[in-house]
Amino acid sequence: MRKISVVIVVAVAAALGGCAKSPESIAPSYISEVGYQAWSCPQLSEETLRLSSAYATAAQQQEKARTNDVVGVILIGLPVSSLSGDNIAPEIARLKGEQEAVRKAMVIKNCAAAAVPPPVTAARASAKAPVAAVNIPAPAAAASAPVKK
């Protein structure tokens, strides 16, 4: 009886080991910042936004694959997303690497400190792409009107 329990535990551990990784646990691929040296700071900022959006989309897809793998292992003993090609860990690694390369290029070019994004972290992984802040001044009449209670 004890041998059967050990075999089951080992089989479940092996199946879970084949599951898709969380986006946060995927290491970035190395991508040199040299390819971005000719870019201007505004171009680098735009690329940062594009990469952030692409990463957010890919991270959601990877999380879905991870969830499907866990469910598949529980129900049928197989990581279905990883087996069907839904695991996009290489794409996540590439996007993280590109984000890091753009960030390094922005630092090298002395782009505005506010424009240089921090490296990708677990907290930013599931966040949507950043949206540029826009200050819209209040109309003059509304700004000077008394507040009624």
The answer to whether residue 142 sits within a structural domain is: no
CA distance 31 to 106: 14
Residue 126 tokens, joined: 């599931």
Per-residue pLDDT of the chain (149 residues; tens, 9 = 90+): 666 554 454 444 444 455 878 888 899 999 999 999 999 999 999 999 999 999 999 999 888 888 887 888 887 887 766 666 667 889 999 999 999 999 999 999 998 755 555 555 544 544 444 444 333 333 344 444 444 54
**Which structural domain, as residue segments, surrounds residue 24?**
2-129
The answer to whether residue 148 sits within a structural domain is: no
For 49-82, write each residue's pLDDT tens digit.
999 999 999 999 888 888 887 888 887 887 766 6
Q: How many domains does the chain have?
A: 1
Q: Which of 47, 90, 44, 94 is nearest to 82 (CA)?
A: 90
How confident is the prediction for the chain on average, in pLDDT? Answer: 73
The answer to whether residue 144 sits within a structural domain is: no
Please, what sign has the CA dihedral across residues 2, 74, 122, 104? positive
The answer to whether residue 30 sits within a structural domain is: yes
Q: Yes or no: say if 44 and 111 are a contact pair by the CB < 8 Å rule.
A: yes
The answer to whether residue 91 sits within a structural domain is: yes
The answer to whether residue 27 sits within a structural domain is: yes
Q: What count of residues does the chain have?
A: 149
pTM of this structure: 0.62
Q: Yes or no: say if 125 and 59 are a contact pair by the CB < 8 Å rule.
A: yes
